[in-house]
Amino acid sequence: MAAPDQVTDPVGSRLLRRLRDSGPLSRAELASGLEVPRARLLSELDSLLAAGLVQEAGPAESRGGRRSTLVELNRDLRFAAVDLGARSIDVEITDGRLEPIAVHSEPADIRSGPKVILHRVSEILAKFKVDGAYDRLQAIGIGIPGPVSFRDGVPVSPPIMPGWDRFPVREVLGREHGCPVVVDNDVNIMAIGERYGGVARMTDNLLFVKIGTGIGCGIYVGGQVYRGTDGCAGDIGHIQVEDDGPVCSCGNIGCLEAYFGGGALGRDALAAARSGQSPALAERLSNSGALTAADVAAGAAEGDATCVQLIRDGGRRVGTVLAGLVSFINPSMIVIGGGLAGLGHLLLAEIRSVVYRRSLPLATGNLPIVMSELGARAGVVGAAVLASDLAYGQPS
Amino acid sequence: MAAPDQVTDPVGSRLLRRLRDSGPLSRAELASGLEVPRARLLSELDSLLAAGLVQEAGPAESRGGRRSTLVELNRDLRFAAVDLGARSIDVEITDGRLEPIAVHSEPADIRSGPKVILHRVSEILAKFKVDGAYDRLQAIGIGIPGPVSFRDGVPVSPPIMPGWDRFPVREVLGREHGCPVVVDNDVNIMAIGERYGGVARMTDNLLFVKIGTGIGCGIYVGGQVYRGTDGCAGDIGHIQVEDDGPVCSCGNIGCLEAYFGGGALGRDALAAARSGQSPALAERLSNSGALTAADVAAGAAEGDATCVQLIRDGGRRVGTVLAGLVSFINPSMIVIGGGLAGLGHLLLAEIRSVVYRRSLPLATGNLPIVMSELGARAGVVGAAVLASDLAYGQPS
């Protein structure tokens, strides 16, 4: 197969992405809507066939007359999608249409540093290869939990990733695996995944709000991912929601993240359990020795008043920040994802209530605020989209 | 001259905009950097000459060898730029390079409704024509103080403009003056003006913050004006800054605009004058019978503590909102404009202080926060840019 970074022809790039998104097509179907002269299209298709990126896929279903032949992406194309979290590594190997071939998840501490973590990523990929999941990768997409210089493929001053600042992630993985690599922020890859294969398909102006250990936002404007001047757009966890209040990990006070998100919720749940304020949390703490957002969700489902209030308070503060952002950016959709999306309808209802009450009516008249469809898979799906865009010649 | 909406060729459009931005050029200078085959360029230039949009401008300065001939925009090209404020009409007639030929400003109440206001605009334009400022307009650009459907050329639910909702501004002015018209929000045209001819030249990701009677924000992302899904992006005056506080004109409480902006500042200045808290304001009130932001600025310059505090409080609240937006959108520059920019360095210093302290360090490391260079002219300059983009074939 050709090295995927050789696909620089815009027609070839569009053909590959069309086959990725639609599956096997006849030449006539492939041509429709592309507005490219048929001879040009057929010649480009021949190049892709010769390069081994595309293959014949047998005859189309007969509609009378001569049967046409379908073409499809070479079934041996493979991408690697990696989602590094603060405490996890998720990896998928996908085919050229981004369908998963092999999946692996394991706990890991991002603070172990880039050498340890990327070495482990490479071990996981090598194991997949030995097991036959791939022969050769076309490209790797990887998301990391901090700001990224998308152009340079390096983390930039990531607050929770000691040792990673400007570490050459793209270069190291590319050299190790002999293929192009694309590096992005973990929230951006979730937004990209959700817009490609989830609830936000074709949405032009999207806010994807990740509520996990921390809180961040992926942004689409005009159908394009927006990463900001320094690659740190969407850092909404440190927007101030109260003039005073708990000190945040960033050193400021009153940040959204100091009130809500996995870290803050765990802290508040522990306090409510220990003070006896929440019988449900106290029982769970004595059973398991620790408390997470899932315990708060379970407590709320059982009707524990403190758990319900913790979720409502968090939703109200997220809603207050989002209400301001809706007035500012006038999006067409907001998607809530990340680990704490598991808090469910109670969280969503509170967020909606504040945004719909506080933002300009014109901006909320047709504004859906919905839960992520892809859930925990959003990140790897987005990483695979980025990898395939790179290989198929479409800058993301 | 050809109807300007006939310029649909992308090469012709680029030639016209280059001549607008650079002035007279030789054919060689015009060709450089355009990456268009020379024959194609010359043929397109001939079309523009034949259509009367471009003219010969005499010989270039000799550099030895054969003298080349300069071309320039036809000196008779004219645009009308209109900036409607809540209480004012500003109009400029410009030449093809957007240099002002004639200027007019007058007070007007936008609440008089579209028929009265647009009739007055037409009268002003007609007077210019009689006076010889133009023979024929190529296009009109107009900004209005409310949300606009840029595609439809109509205001959409503008809160301070009774009677204007979906009034066909573009159609009415176009029919009256026989030329294409482009309608945009007043803050957007200021941002466009400042980026074209002011302090924000070539800035990719820009926030232009207008602090006038109300407060709004023009947004550039990736070098393009961003207007939002419903045309109401940038409505930051109604972002909540306090949980309680004065009731805003929008019906919510604690909005930025309920605390600061010309309306709120006038209210607070009057209270400080009447209560005797501010001797400087009391004296000005007894002299003139009314108080505006200019009185507060003058009082602050004289060292009146209340005036200084009013400006500081306002700057702090604007800064708090901007700090959140900087974390969210990671802009490359913030420009402060509008009537209250006259409050000067005291306002700017307070805004800077809060933003630099409250936003992510990565986002503020290279972030200039500066005053508008164009001042009161920003709006008409932007309206002229929009009109010329329309006539020269570049969608804005």
CB atoms within 10 A of CB A381: 26
Top pLDDT among A364 and B79 is at B79
Instruction: Write out pLDDT tens, residues B162-213.
Output: 999 999 999 999 999 999 999 999 999 999 999 999 999 989 999 999 999 8
Average pLDDT, whole number, for chain B?
Answer: 92
Domain B4-73 matches domain B202-372 at the CATH topology level: no
By the 8 A CB rule, do A74 and A1 touch?
Answer: yes
Residues of chain A with C-beta less than 8 angstroms from the C-beta of B359: 238
Does domain A78-194+378-392 match CATH 3.40.50.300? no
Instruction: Write out pLDDT tens, residues A299-325.
Output: 999 999 999 999 999 999 999 999 999
What's the gap in Å between the CA of A159 and the closest CA on chain B?
10
| Identity of the amino acid at B267 | R
By Cβ distance, the residue of A320, A328, A362 closest to B147 is: A362
CA-to-CA dists, residue A142 to A81, A260, A386, angstroms: 6, 27, 9
Burial class (CB in 10 A: 0-12, 13-18, 19+), A174: middle
What is the band of B335 on the pLDDT scale with cuts at 50, 70, 90? very high
Contact B232 A362 (CB under 8 A): yes
Domain ranges of chain B: 4-73, 78-194+378-392, 202-372
Hey, which residues 230-269 in chain A have their CB within 8 Å of chain B?
230-236, 238-240, 250, 252
Q: Which residues contact A277 (CB under 8 A, 6 or more apart)?
A: A271, A306
pLDDT at position B388: 97
Residues of chain A with C-beta less than 8 angstroms from the C-beta of B227: 330
- Minimum CA–CA partner of A356 in chain B: B252
User: If you classify domain A203-372 with CATH, what class do you get?
Assistant: alpha beta
CATH node for B202-372: 3.30.420.40
Contact A239 B365 (CB under 8 A): no
Residues written for chain A? 396
- What is the spatial distance between Cα A379 and Cα A385, in angstroms, rounded to a whole number? 10
Helices assigned H by DSSP within A109-261? 114-130, 169-177, 186-197, 256-259
CA-to-CA dists, residue A73 to A50, A54, A308, angstroms: 12, 4, 49
Residues written for chain B? 396
Q: Among candidates B113, B186, B173, which has minimal Cα distance to B144? A: B186
What number is the ipTM of this complex?
A: 0.90
Chain B interface, mutation test: which of A161, A332, A357, A362, most B Cβ atoms within 10 Å? A362
Instruction: Write out pLDDT tens, residues A58-78.
Output: 887 666 666 678 999 999 999
pLDDT at position A66: 63
Helices (H) and strands (E) in chain B, counts: 14, 15
Q: At what angle do helices A305-329 and A345-358 cross, to 10 degrees?
A: 40
Chain A interface, mutation test: which of B217, B253, B329, B367, most A Cβ atoms within 10 Å? B329
Helices (H) and strands (E) in chain A, counts: 14, 15
Instruction: Write out pLDDT tens, residues B355-380.
Output: 999 988 888 989 999 999 999 999 99
pLDDT at position B4: 45
On the question of pLDDT at B1 being above 50, the answer is no
Does domain A4-73 match CATH 1.10.10.10? yes
- What is the spatial distance between Cα B59 and Cα B26, in angstroms, rounded to a whole number? 9
Contact A235 B330 (CB under 8 A): yes
Q: Among candidates A388, A372, A315, which has minimal Cα distance to A349? A: A315
What's the gap in Å between the CA of B327 and the closest CA on chain A?
5
Q: Does the CB of A224 have a partner CB in chain B at under 8 Å?
A: yes
Q: Does the CB of B321 have a partner CB in chain A at under 8 Å?
A: yes
SS3 A140: strand
- Minimum CA–CA partner of A320 in chain B: B240
pLDDT at position B28: 86
| A49-53, A361-365, B115-119: range with lowest mean pLDDT | A361-365
Instruction: Write out pLDDT tens, residues A77-136.
Output: 999 999 999 899 999 999 999 999 999 999 999 999 999 999 999 999 999 999 999 999
